[in-house]
């Protein structure tokens, strides 16, 4: 049985960019337009090693304004239906938040809402994106922002792990001489997913 990973987060958080990192050839549409980009849920195959592949599900962005493609209420309903109705069992929820664009209460609200929607048995991890301009090692973002996360009501103890990354493409990062950030981000997020879906000592993240 295939393992299913669903990626959730607000519009522009970088969900589809993350899919493109994890699934070469996926070509999920990305955009920084004012309106949301992904209009339908879509699944892609992600290979994380021999015998370690999973289906990664891109979803429609939350918290779009009324001018957007799908206002938030409808987006939430659509996502809820997808989570409940698609005849799939979920093995991991990846919640994306943009680390450098200002965390909002709505990020936490949606985190808690969808976390409880999938139920306690489904592990939830946080992937912090938009850290390409972050000063210092990207993994420092998490300890430095723990208090903010807690204030917002994202309880770090209720998550099964996290990764702090940039989801920009390799080409974009190389253009800014930051190709190493791409490799590190990809490795960190792959390690994170592997460590949850195939928990064994060898798969634990080392960063």
Ligand X SMILES: Nc1nc2c(ncn2[C@@H]2O[C@H](COP(=O)(O)OP(=O)(O)OP(=O)(O)O)[C@@H](O)[C@H]2O)c(=O)[nH]1
**Smallest distance from ligand X to CB 103, Å:** 14
**What are the residues binding ligand X (CB under 6 A)?**
9, 11-17, 30-32, 36-38, 61, 129-130, 132, 166-168
Selected range binding Mg ion among 31-39, 114-122, 159-167, 184-192, rule: CB under 5 A: 31-39
- Select the binding partner of residue 166 from Mg ion, ligand X, none (C-beta < 5 to 8 A, by kind): ligand X
Taking CA atoms, 134 is separated from 18, 138, 150, in Å, by 18, 7, 21
Residue whose CB is less far from Mg ion, 57 or 194: 57
Contact between 16 and Mg ion by CB under 5 A: the answer reads: yes
Query: Closest approach of Cβ 203 to ligand X, in Å?
Result: 24
Residue list 33-62, contact with Mg ion (CB under 5 A): 37-38
What is the strand order of the sheet 3-9 is part of? 42-47, 53-58, 3-9, 92-98, 124-129, 161-164
User: What is the 8-class DSSP label of residue 136?
Assistant: S
CA distance 206 to 99: 22
Which among 43, 33, 41, 27 is positioned nearest to 11, based on CA atoms? 33
- Which residue, 37 or 103, has its beta carbon nearer to Mg ion? 37
What are the residue ranges of helices labelled H in the chain? Answer: 15-22, 72-85, 105-118, 141-144, 146-152, 170-175, 179-197
Query: Among ligand X, Mg ion, none, what does residue 110 contact (CB within 5–8 Å per kind)?
Result: none
Compare residues 61 and 161 and give the one whose CB is closer to ligand X. 61
Summarize as ranges the residues that interact with Mg ion (CB under 5 A). Answer: 15-16, 37-38
């Amino acid at each position: 049985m295939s393992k299913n990973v669903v990626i959730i987060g607000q519009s522009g958080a970088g969900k589809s960019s993350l899919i493109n990192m994890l699934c070469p050839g996926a070509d999920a549409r990305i955009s920084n337009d004012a309106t949301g980009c992904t209009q339908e849920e879509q699944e892609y195959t992600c290979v994380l090693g021999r015998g370690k592949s999973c289906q990664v599900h891109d979803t429609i962005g939350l918290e779009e304004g009324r001018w957007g493609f799908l206002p938030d209420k409808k987006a939430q309903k659509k996502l809820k239906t997808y989570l409940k109705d698609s005849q799939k069992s979920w093995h991991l929820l990846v919640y994306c938040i943009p680390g450098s664009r200002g965390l909002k209460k709505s990020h936490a609200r949606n985190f808690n809402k969808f976390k409880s929607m999938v139920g306690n048995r489904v592990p939830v991890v946080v992937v912090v994106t938009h850290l390409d301009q972050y000063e210092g090692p990207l993994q420092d973002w998490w300890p430095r922002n723990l208090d903010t996360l807690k204030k917002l009501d994202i309880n770090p103890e209720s998550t099964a792990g996290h990764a702090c990354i940039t989801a920009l493409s390799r080409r974009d990062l190389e253009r800014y001489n930051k190709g190493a950030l791409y490799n590190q981000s990809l490795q960190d997020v792959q390690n994170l997913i592997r460590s949850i879906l195939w928990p064994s000592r060898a798969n634990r993240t080392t960063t």
